[in-house]
Amino acid sequence: MSKLFGGSGKKRYQAEETRYDKMNYRRCGKSGLMLPEISLGLWHNFGFTDNFENSRNLLKCAFDNGITHFDLANNYGPPYGAAETTFGEIFKKDFKPYRDELLISTKAGWDMWPGPYGNFGSRKYLISSLDQSLQRMGLDYVDIFYHHRPDPETPLEETMGALDHLVRQGKALYVGISQYNAEDTLKATKILKDLGTPCLIHQPKYNMMDRWVENGLLDVLENEGVGAIAFSPLQQGILTDKYLAGFPENSRAVKDGRYLKTNQIDKDLISKVTQLNKIAISRGQSLAQMAIAWLLKDKRITSVLVGASRTEQLMDSLKALENLEFSPETLKKIENVLK
C-alpha cells in the first residue's frame, strides 16, 4: 500500500496519492468539520504489549485509504497512556508532515492515575489529563477532546467549563462527550452553547446488538446539531464471521479477555451471528461490512469508529462503503434475527 522512499539513508512514509478517492466524508452535526465515514480507534492493538510495526502499519493503511480520524483516550494501552505514547512515536516518524490532514482525538473520564484527581469529571482532572496526553503524543493540540463518561457527582457546569477552557487555551479545537444519556446530553449541549463552545460530537456505543441510542439520544443529537460517532460497531469482533467456527487464538476474546470474554459468546449468540452472516453473504458482503453499512444507513451517524488488529481487517471493513443501501425486506430480515 504505502510507499517508502530513501533519503540520507532514512526511509520515510509517503501517503498514497489516491487516499481521498474512495472515502466519503460526512459533516459532523451542524459544524464545519467533515469526518470520514470510517474512523480508526486505538483502544486495542496499540499498547506496549502489541507489535509496534503492526500498529504503525494499521495507521498507514488507514490514512492511505482516506481514514483521516484516529481516536485515542488517556488510558488506552496497556498500560494506561501506552496507546498515546505509541501513537506519538508513529506520528513523529510518519505523520508529522500530514498533521493538517488528520483529526486526532483523545479523552479523559475513566480511571487514569492514583488518587482523587485521576478519574471522573473534575476540572482538575480534565485539564491536567489533556496536558499529559499532548505530551505523550508530541502534539500541540488535539482536534477533539472528549469527556469520556458522565460523572454523577461533579456538576455538569464544571466539566463542560473545563472543556470550554481547553478550547480557549488552544489545546483542543473541538469538544465532545461520550456515553452520556439523552437527558444529560441535552443539558451538556445547552451549557456548552451558552459558553460559546458548541458540542461537536457524541461518541456512544452503537451496533446491531446494542441499540440504546435509538431511544432518544440520536433525536437529541439531530435537534442540537451534534454529530455522532459509533464505537464498537462490530461488538468487539462478535459481528464478524471470526467466532462462527470456534475461538481463534489471535482473537480479542482469547488473546485479551479484559473487555470481551469467551463466555460472553454463547450458542444463542452464535446462532444469531450465523443468521446475520447469511444475510450479509446474500448482499455480497462480509458480516463486518454489513454491520458497518447498517450503521451508516442512518445519516445521523457521522462516522463509524472501528478497531482492527491487522491491516487485512481494515481493508475488509473499508469495503463496507461500496454498499450502504438496504432494501426494506433485508432490514426486516435483520430485525427478525435481532428480536
User: Would you tell me which residues interact with ligand NDP (CB under 6 A)?
Assistant: 41-44, 71, 148, 178-179, 203, 231-237, 240, 242, 251-252, 288, 305-309, 313, 316-317
> Nearer to ligand NDP by C-beta: 12 or 102?
102
Looking at the Cβ atoms of 108 and 305, the one nearer to ligand NDP is: 305
Cα–Cα distance measured from residue 177 to residue 185, given in angstroms and rounded to the nearest whole number:
8
Q: How far is CA 11 from CA 148, 195, 296, in A?
A: 37, 46, 37
Angle at Cα 306 formed by Cα 301 and Cα 310, nearest 5°? 160
Residues contacting 65, CB < 8 A, separation 6+:
1, 16, 19, 22, 23, 314, 315, 318
- Residue number with CB closer to ligand NDP (17 or 52): 52
Note whether 74 and 84 are within 8 A (CB). yes
Q: How far is the CB of 71 from ligand NDP (least distance, A)?
A: 4
Q: By the 8 A CB rule, do 215 and 184 touch? A: no
Instruction: Give the nearest distance from C-beta 320 to ligand NDP in angstroms.
Output: 9
Q: How far is the CB of 99 from ligand NDP (least distance, A)?
A: 20
- Least separation in angstroms between residue 136's CB and ligand NDP is 16
Q: Residues near 324 by Cβ (< 8 Å), separated by ≥ 6?
A: 293, 296, 297
Residue with cell 512514509: 13
Identify the three-state secondary structure at position 145.
Answer: strand
* Angle value at C-alpha 301, between 206 and 158, nearest 5 degrees: 75
Smallest gap from residue 235 Cβ to ligand NDP (A): 6
State which H helix or E strand residue 293 sits in: helix 287-296
Residue 102 DSSP one-character state: -
Decide whether 111 or 194 has the Cβ nearer to ligand NDP. 111
Q: How far is the CB of 317 from ligand NDP (least distance, A)?
A: 4
Q: Buried (b) or exposed (e) across 183-205, using 16+ Cβ within 10 A?
A: ebbbebbebbeebebbbbbbbbb
> What's the min distance (Å) between Cβ of 261 and ligand NDP?
13
If the CB atoms of residues 97 and 264 are measured against ligand NDP, the closer one turns out to be 264
Q: Whose Cβ is closer to ligand NDP: residue 139's or residue 308's?
A: 308
Query: Among residues 191 and 234, whose Cβ is nearest to ligand NDP?
Result: 234
Cα dist from 220 to 195, 210, 301, 328, whole Å: 19, 18, 13, 25
* Distance of closest approach, residue 49 Cβ to ligand NDP, in angstroms: 13
Q: How far is CA 155 from CA 122, 148, 152, 252, in A?
A: 8, 15, 8, 37
Q: Which is nearer to ligand NDP, 197 or 207 (CB)?
A: 207
